[in-house]
Amino acid sequence: MARPKFGQIHSGPSGAGIERGEMVLPRAAKTQRRTRIQEQKEERILEAALEVFSAHGFRGSTIDQIAEVAGMSKPNLLYYFRTKEAMHRALIDRVLDTWLDPLRELDAEGNPVAEIRSYIRRKLELARDFPRESRLFANEILQGAPHIEDELKGPLKQLVDEKAEVIRAWAKAGKIAKCDPYHLIFAIWSTTQHYADFDVQVRAVLGQEHAGEGRFEDAARFLERLFVDGLQVRE
Amino acid sequence: MARPKFGQIHSGPSGAGIERGEMVLPRAAKTQRRTRIQEQKEERILEAALEVFSAHGFRGSTIDQIAEVAGMSKPNLLYYFRTKEAMHRALIDRVLDTWLDPLRELDAEGNPVAEIRSYIRRKLELARDFPRESRLFANEILQGAPHIEDELKGPLKQLVDEKAEVIRAWAKAGKIAKCDPYHLIFAIWSTTQHYADFDVQVRAVLGQEHAGEGRFEDAARFLERLFVDGLQVRE
DNA sequence: TGATAATTTGACCGGTTGGTAAACATTACA
DNA sequence: TGTAATGTTTACCAACCGGTCAAATTATCA
């Protein structure tokens, strides 16, 4: 009994030596390393949480819903994540990185038009293959980003600043048309994510006949052409 | 006593002869026409509801919040709108029309490039001047449009189909580049609404120095150029 | 195997939320 | 002015929701 055990005793944010980073771990982890069962369960919970949060937003989701989707009892979820917010937080942290990967890959040394073209394609593939992740962010930002303000002003802004500089350099070198790089990035974000975030509207407008995945092909063709032609230098 | 009065008696959706259309009206409206006080109060409520719903989504909003913003008591709100959903519904119905106005104004007889250019500008002005309305829709659609599916598949699709045909005709006549008109419309929607719906992100990325309204000017310049150059016929 | 730690569950709790009941106040109008 | 219709408020309720507790069950390993 060198330490008091802190099994279920965590009623309050000041848990006597419990550090912020450990919060995600189950409370009774004396062994320090995560067992296989922990990883599996946390995985299942986060998968379920993604399903629910992305569809209803943070406040619109209940722990019971997540528990049902995960096939576990509510207290069992709360054994792995102490609060609803901890689940959401873990989800955002995990997703943010992969969500920004396409922008990271924008290569200053590559051919500018080809780089932008494949950036668009990668973003569109993300929207097609991971719409829930996209909607998770959209929900969050739409409601004022109450949980991720720091990430936006920190790492996100930093990355965008960096890549904006790359684009500005391309423009200055005459390789693409002069344009505001920030608004170019916004335009690529919005047009591509639109197909994930506003999927219901897109489907409704396109109608039954375009119910398949063909709309992503059409969108890719249209967007690549729009941005390439719109940015090409002429005269 | 020809009719039973139905003051507060509406516990249940089958209100003995109460028609769908009347639901929005206060329950005791025997006079059929709306008094000035009714109009004023409903106006105040909808204004408050817009403020709250657009910021937190439907499930994230509470009647108490709306009541506080409106400066009324909760039961008083429920005197004018029988349920939270009725408020939301009335709000959507009212906003949908004005939100689609810019697209309606797209004139088949006008100069194609000029028409598209001013469509973009009008949409951007809407995003700047009515961001709450934009976010209200965004919230709704993001969460699967549970309340407005019919409007999307009906009036909205109809309008878009009509205008898509106009754009297609322009392309066929060689006045603009050949492109998928539906995805063009999606692209204009998404890029412009982005500045309302993702305002927090835009501000975070642009940083303090662009805190003013100047970003809308920059966006207008960028988008007009992007679409005009991207759609111009060349060769 | 047996003891200890890790996991799971049913019952429960306090606060919130959508909505109601009924009394009270005000307005419109004959 | 009187009275019926309209508008407003206080008190309240049942369902829901995030989270806790204690007890039960299962995995781990000396």
Q: With a cut of 80, say whether residue A124 has pLDDT above it.
A: yes
Residue with nearest Cα to nucleotide D22 C1': A8
| Nearest-angstrom CA–CA distance, A215 and B231 | 20
pLDDT at position B38 is 81
Predicted local distance difference test score (pLDDT) of residue A209: 81
In chain B, the residue whose alpha carbon lies closest to the alpha carbon of A55 is B143
Contact A136, A95 (CB under 8 A): yes
- In sequence order, which residues have a C-beta less than 8 Å from that of residue B8 and are 6 or more positions away? B27
**Residue B85 is which amino acid?**
E
Domain A27-82 has CATH 1.10.10.60: yes
Of B56, B184, B186, the CB nearest to A194: B186
Give yes or no for CB of A10 within 7 Å of strand C: no
Provide the token pair at B195. Answer: 């500045």
Taking CA atoms, what residue in B is nearest to A195? B186
- Can you identify the CATH homologous superfamily of domain B32-82? Homeodomain-like (1.10.10.60)
Q: What is the pLDDT of residues B24-67, one digit of tens each?
A: 445 544 444 566 778 899 999 999 999 999 999 999 999 999 99
3-state helix, strand, coil in chain A (%, to 5): 70, 0, 30
Where exactly are the structural domains of chain B?
32-82, 93-231
Residues of B in contact with A60 (CB under 8 A): 57-60, 143
Give yes or no for residue B21 having a pLDDT over 70: no
pLDDT of the residue at A2: 30
Q: Residue A29 — pLDDT band, cuts 50, 70, 90?
A: very low
Strand C contact with A76 (CB < 7 A) = yes
- What is the distance between the alpha carbons of residues A143 and A84, in angstroms, rounded to a whole number? 17
Q: Tokens 């890549």 label which residue?
A: A163
Write the ipTM: 0.87
Indicate if CB(B135) is under 7 A from strand C. Answer: no
pLDDT of residue B146: 84
Which residues fall within 8 angstroms of residue B89, CB to CB, at 6 or more apart? B24, B147
Give buried/exposed letters for A35-71 (b at 16+ CB in 10 A, else e). eeeeeebbebbbebbbbbbbbbbbbbbebebbbebbe
CATH entry, B93-231, from 1.10.10.10, 3.40.50.300, 1.10.357.10, 1.20.1630.10? 1.10.357.10
Residue A11 Cβ under 7 A from any strand C atom: no
Roughly what angle, to the nearest 10 degrees, separates helices A214-231 and B214-231? 100
- The arithmetic mean of pLDDT across residues B151-165, rounded, is 95
Higher pLDDT, A126 or A6: A126
- Chain B positions touching A117 (Cβ under 8 A) are none
**Among A40, A58, A36, CA closest to A49:** A58
Cβ of B193 and A197 within 8 Å?
no
**Res B26: pLDDT:** 53
Question: Tokens standing for B14?
Answer: 């089958």
What is the CA A34 to C1' C4 distance in angstroms?
18
Among chain A residues, CA nearest to B60: A59
Chain A residues whose CB is inside 8 A of the B135 CB are 142
Q: Is the pLDDT higher at A37 or at B217? A: B217
**Which site among B186, B194, B203, B235 would you substitute to test the A interface, given the most A Cβ atoms closer than 10 Å to its Cβ?**
B186
d(CA B211, CA B206): 8
Q: Per residue in B59-98, pLDDT tens? A: 999 999 999 999 999 999 999 999 999 999 999 999 988 8
Query: If you write DSSP's letter for every residue of A59-112 in order, what string do you get?
Result: HH--HHHHHHHHTS-HHHHHHHSSSHHHHHHHHHHHHHHHHHHHHHT--TTS-H
Homologous superfamily in CATH for domain A95-231: Tetracycline Repressor, domain 2 (1.10.357.10)
Q: Which nucleotide comes closest to A77 if you measure CA to C1'?
A: C8
**Binary contact (A179, B222; C-beta < 8 A):** yes
Q: In the predicted model, what is the mean pLDDT of residues A210-226?
A: 92
Q: Please determine whether the domains at B32-82 and B93-231 fall in the same fold group of CATH.
A: no
